Every structure is written in structure tokens, then in C-alpha cells.
Amino acid sequence: MDTVLLPTDLSRQSRMLMGCMPELSRFGIRKVILLYVDIEGVPMGEVVSRNLQDNVDRLRQEGYDAELSVVAGRSASDEILKAAKEHGVDTIIIPSSGKGRTTKLLVGSNSLSIMKKADVKVFLKRFIKGRGGDICEACPLTFRRTIVALPPWSRDNGFMDKVNDLIAKGGMEGVLLLNPISGKSMEYSHGVLMAAGDVHEMLGTEGYAAAEIPKGILEAINRESASLLILPGCLREPLRGLLRESPMGQIIHNTKASILIIPNQ
């Protein structure tokens, strides 16, 4: 992640995400485009302008090359996807909270649309609800335990190369490679980059039983108390219309882990 797009609506979750940017620098982020979508008919105002500039200044103080982009449009998701292409970013970062299917209201249709359509990586930073229902103020450690759900060998499309790059840049430890169909897994040896062929041979990830994937991944997240899940882009679509919701959608709505989606090349 060299250049990222950070959409903000100055909500509480957006402010909390700003507080996590020092931690997320482990992804190798250098440049941040802070994007504000001015929905047509809703004036931005002086207070909003000042808050946006304060956020840019904060990012710069944390060592990022940061700039502000303000665009107008009727659809936030469309403008975010458009801005990602115009600025040549490789990742879009969005916040979310909650668990269960009611989180469709919290994740929002805009975020779901971005996760389904983006041609670049999408990182959903999860914030957990406390006992009283409020979103926790603290930023959970994103890299405490990571699960990488592998695609079938025939649909790898450079997935493992991108995973290797992320792990190398972030110095990530505690990484588990998972075959979501069979449940077979193996620890990723820190500092030893693994060739895609070796991984698929050891875990046997040929085949694509999409209906079985969400259950296996969710069980692994709970068993490992994973804080981050890395998913291949091939899980974004239903299997030939047989599934009402994509495997990715089922996973998103039933886990508290943060999620990084790596699209197909």
C-alpha cells in the first residue's frame, strides 16, 4: 500500500480511523489522499473545511505525504471509486463497526458497493461495540493475529505475491494461511516469503466450493481470535446465482475482524 484513499465524512468512525493511521503505517503507506464527498445540495461550510484541513495536517505530522480532495456528487460510493482511479491509489480504507446482518446499516450501502466494485485493495477497519452499545474508543490492534484465506490455485491471479509484499512491508507475525474449503492451515514463517505454488501444493487449495467457504473462515477467525482477515477478490461474487449473497458478504456481516480484500489482477 503505497498510496491510499481515505474517504471521510467526519463521523465518529472516521475520526477513530484517523487515530489508527500510525498503526496502519505498517502496511507501507506513504501517501494519503483524504477525500470528502460534498453531496449535492448540502453545503460544506467553514467548520467542515477547517476540520478537513486539521485532518490533513495531522496526517502530515504523522509522517504521511497527505493531500485533501473535495468532490461533489450524488453518490458517495461512485465518487470514491472514481477518485481512486483518478489519483492512482492502490488501496481504499473505510471504517466499520458492529456484528451481524444488522451491520448492513452500519457498514452502509456505499461501503458495500465499494468493496464489491473496487479494482484496488479495500481495507475495512473494524471498530468493536462495547457492552453499552457504543463503539469502543480504543483502536484494536489490527496486526495481532492475521488469517489469509487462500483462493483455489486456478484463481490465484497473483494473490500470494501481494500477500508476501504486505507481510514483508509490515513485518507481520502471527499469520495463518488457511484453506477455507478443507480447513487445513499452516503458520506463515516470518521473514520467509512463500511461493504461491508451494502454498497451494501444501494446502491443496484446488476446487471452488463457494458455499462452504464462509463457515470455514468464520470458524477459523473465532478459533484463532483473529484481528485481521485477508480475502481474495474471487470471493466477492455469488456462485452462478446459487448463493443469495457472496461469500465475502456473508463473512463481513458475521465477524468482528478487520478485512483486507485483494482484487484479482
Q: Are 176 and 188 in contact (CB under 8 A)?
A: yes
In the chain, where the domains are located: 3-127, 146-262
- Collapsed DSSP state (helix, strand, coil) of residue 7: strand
Q: Looking at residue 5, what is its pLDDT?
A: 96
**Residue length of the chain:** 265
Query: Maximum CA pair distance of the chain?
Result: 58
The CATH superfamily of 146-262 is HUPs (3.40.50.620)
pTM for this model (two decimals): 0.87
175 has pLDDT over 80: yes
Distances (CA, A) of 69 to 54, 80, 219: 14, 11, 40
CATH topology identical between 3-127 and 146-262: yes
Name the least confident of 33-47, 98-112, 183-197: 98-112
pLDDT higher than threshold 50 for residue 213:
yes
User: What confidence score (pLDDT) does residue 103 get?
Assistant: 38
Share of the chain above pLDDT 70, in %: 82
pLDDT tens for residues 56-81?
Answer: 999 999 999 999 999 988 888 899 99
> Given the DSSP bridges, would you call strands 185-187 and 175-178 parallel, antiparallel or unpaired?
antiparallel
| Model pLDDT, residue 220 | 93
Helix-helix angle 76-87:104-117, to 10 degrees: 40
Q: Per mean pLDDT, which range of 118-132, 151-165, 174-188, 216-230 is the poorest?
A: 118-132
* Residue 242: band (very low, low, confident or very high) from pLDDT cuts 50, 70, 90: very low
Lowest mean pLDDT among 31-40, 129-138, 245-254: 129-138
Residue 16 has what pLDDT? 85
DSSP per residue, 137-201: SS---TTSSEEEEPPPGGG-TTHHHHHHHHHHHHT--SEEEE-TTT--EEEPPTT----HHHHHH
* 248 neighbors 115 (Cβ within 8 angstroms): yes
Q: In sequence order, what are the beta bridge partners of 5?
A: 33, 92
The answer, yes or no, to whether residue 139 has pLDDT greater than 80, is: no
Report helix, strand or coil for 214. Answer: helix
Q: Which of 66, 52, 51, 53 is nearest to 21 (CA)?
A: 66
Q: What pairs with residue 202 in β-bridges?
A: none
Which three cell numbers, joined as nine digits, stand for 79? 465518487
In single-letter form, the type of residue at position 182 comes to S
To the nearest 10 degrees (0 to 180), the angle between helices 45-61 and 12-24 is 10
Cell (9 digits) for 29: 503507506
**What CATH fold (topology level) applies to the domain 3-127?**
Rossmann fold (3.40.50)
Give the pLDDT confidence of 78-137 residue by residue, as tens digits. Answer: 999 999 999 999 999 998 754 433 333 334 567 778 888 899 999 998 876 655 544 555
pLDDT on residue 209: 65
Write the pLDDT tens digit of every residue in 9-26. Answer: 888 888 888 888 888 888
Tell me: pLDDT of 150 over 60.
yes
Confidence at 210, pLDDT banded by 50, 70, 90: low
Q: Report strand pairing: 258-262 vs 121-127.
A: antiparallel
List pLDDT tens digits, range 227-240. 899 999 888 776 55
Q: What is the pLDDT of residue 33?
A: 96
